[in-house]
Amino acid sequence: MQSRDQIRNIAIIAHVDHGKTTLVDQLLQQSGIFREHETLQERAMDSNDLERERGITILAKNTAITYKDFLINIVDTPGHADFGGEVERIMKMVDGVLLVVDAYEGCMPQTKFVLGKALAHNLTPIVVVNKIDRPAARPAEVIDEVLDLFIELGANDDQLDFPVVYASALNGTSSMDPEKQDDNMLALYETIIDHIPSPTEKVDEPLQFLVTLMDYNEYLGRIAVGRVNRGVIKQGQPVAVMLRDGSTKNARIEKLFGFQGLKRIEVAEAGAGDIVAIAGIKDINIGETIADPQHPEALPVLKIDEPTLQMTFLVNNSPFAGREGKWVTSRKLRDRLFKELETDVSLRVDETDSPDAYIVSGRGELHLSILIENMRREGYELQVSKPEVIVREIDGVKMEPIERLLIDVPEESMGAVMESLGTRKAEMVNMVNNGNGQVRLEFLIPARGLIGYRTHFLTLTRGYGIMNHAFDSYGPLVGGQVGGRHQGVLVSTENGSSTFYGMMSVEDRGTLFLEPGTEIYEGMIVGEHTRDNDIVVNICKEKQLTNVRSATKDDTVKLKTPVIFSLEQALEYLNDDEYCEITPKSVRLRKKILNKSERERAEKHRKMAQANL
């Protein structure tokens, strides 16, 4: 068992895309744990398909490297505030953090979010100014921004005395001097050894281990990952498991694993301060404590930020239900959602009066869309409603989540962006002109105002704008309409396949969302209207054949390129009376009530009910 003085447990935290995972790649590559013929896959820690496709970290993961005689346990955390539950848990596993900040972008909303979590847990920080090789790098200003952020978040004197390492994770270089780089990561290794404290827990006390992460293996079953808070844990050892409901059950440690690089290695025992994985305990969950049977003492339950957004997940009941998916029933949908709760502590699932509908609450649109994307890849079919913010009552006042929004836009787009955010009840709190044609704007905005805004924002800035946001606080509920879609939609009146002729006949009414030859059904949304009302259209009609036809007449006519939504764009686009139908092969928008006459009747009843209030 490693000496406690030679262990360092650190988490790497940063705003999304500031280079955390690439930095871990370099630390792994240069640690010497790979043989000469072994190659390290780029962004090796992002093992999930979705993570590799999107270039983001969704699930926290841990690795370990050996430097000199020291064992450095490293946990790579997500940068998106939507995955705050992952970040929150990791803080319980480590003694210090590497705060990675982009040498050009500086402090961003999620930088504040993740640093706030670290300082609240009294962790020792090291600041890594990454991407120092960028032409527009401004390390001195960025360090000033970081210091201001530390002060704003109430850092103590020890935390304010943070060391700074300048690095280029992409090139594998680092140094303590912003002007020149060494061709290795030795400056960072040495800073970790010198500044991050070793574990202070005692190995001669009764065992306590908090389950922080969950993994699954088809041979070993559930694997609980966490830190030994005190005592020693051994293979074959009988233990008591303190469940979240307060009860206790007996179990045995069948397999015990430590970490080396990207691999798990079986170990006979581990002591206080070690990060290990445990197999052999059935039905164990995140937040539960494994303890000595003679001294069964539970650790404090993990406090996780509450969800801010909810959606209704329903069984797919469209005319195309069951065509493309493997799992389509209410029971399968329920089982899958409740299974997700075992590993995602930020998620909530509530049953409704209907056996076919469940209210799923999460930390944001990205959080819920990742769950939906994973489900469709696994073969599930489902429908979801428009995302809605969760309004809370605090001291008798209705409160809604407020987001801190940071926007970088070209100067010429600034006016249009500020006007569009004004209609969404945003309040500007800061503006910085970087002097290179780019302006940074900072707003506080109700979370409702951001639903569906990203696509509109990219249109306003012609794709050059960058927006980031993170939960700031709860504020009084803003009255009136905030955000939402202003345009109506084109709704199909027919079942069939879209035709070139049918689409040509309605093209001047708006923007179409599908290609010719796409199967559609009555009530399906096929495009966006140029005005604010919905209209029904028939894009299945065929051209009538006549005796007199020009051979070349149709050859010169071209359809405008349709807008094909991604899953996130489709979810953002939804209105209150619409569903998004999701299958392994398709994402379709539809009205909740498919029949035109029934829709009109329901709308009439809704208006009458409003008038009587």
Give the residue numbers of the binding site for GTP. 17-22, 130-133
Binding residues: 17-22, 130-133
Of 85, 15, 119, the closest CA to residue 305 belongs to 85
What residues does 580 pair with on adjacent strands?
384, 589
CA atoms of 3 and 7, how far apart (whole Å): 7
Task: Say what angle helices 109-120 and 139-152 make with each other, to 10 degrees.
Answer: 50
**1: how many CB neighbours lie within 10 A of its CB?**
12
- The token pair at 49 is 């398909």
- The token pair at 485 is 């879609």
Per the CB < 8 A criterion, the answer to whether 12 and 93 are in contact is: no
CA atoms of 111 and 18, how far apart (whole Å): 10
What residues does 39 pair with on adjacent strands?
none
| Helix/strand/coil for 552 | coil
Q: 415-425 burial, b for 16+ CB within 10 Å, e for fewer?
A: eebbebbeebb
Instruction: Name residue 58's amino acid.
Output: I
Phi/psi of residue 207, each to 5°? -60, 140
Of 238, 268, 236, the closest CA to residue 251 belongs to 238
Whose tokens are 């109506």? That residue is 488
CA atoms of 521 and 596, how far apart (whole Å): 12
DSSP-based helix, strand, coil % in the chain, nearest 5: 25, 35, 40
- The token pair at 274 is 């070690």
Cα–Cα distances in angstroms (integers) from residue 503 to residues 58, 98, 490, 508, 509, in the given order = 40, 55, 11, 10, 10
Helix H or strand E segment including 510? strand 510-512
CA atoms of 350 and 105, how far apart (whole Å): 40
CA atoms of 143 and 166, how far apart (whole Å): 11
Per the CB < 8 A criterion, the answer to whether 229 and 278 are in contact is: no
Per the CB < 8 A criterion, the answer to whether 384 and 571 are in contact is: yes
CA atoms of 583 and 586, how far apart (whole Å): 5
CA atoms of 513 and 496, how far apart (whole Å): 16
Could you tell me the end-to-end alpha-carbon distance of the chain, in angstroms, rounded to an integer? 71
Per the CB < 8 A criterion, the answer to whether 182 and 175 are in contact is: yes
CA atoms of 36 and 33, how far apart (whole Å): 10
Our CA angle for 554, 557, 563, nearest 5°, is 130
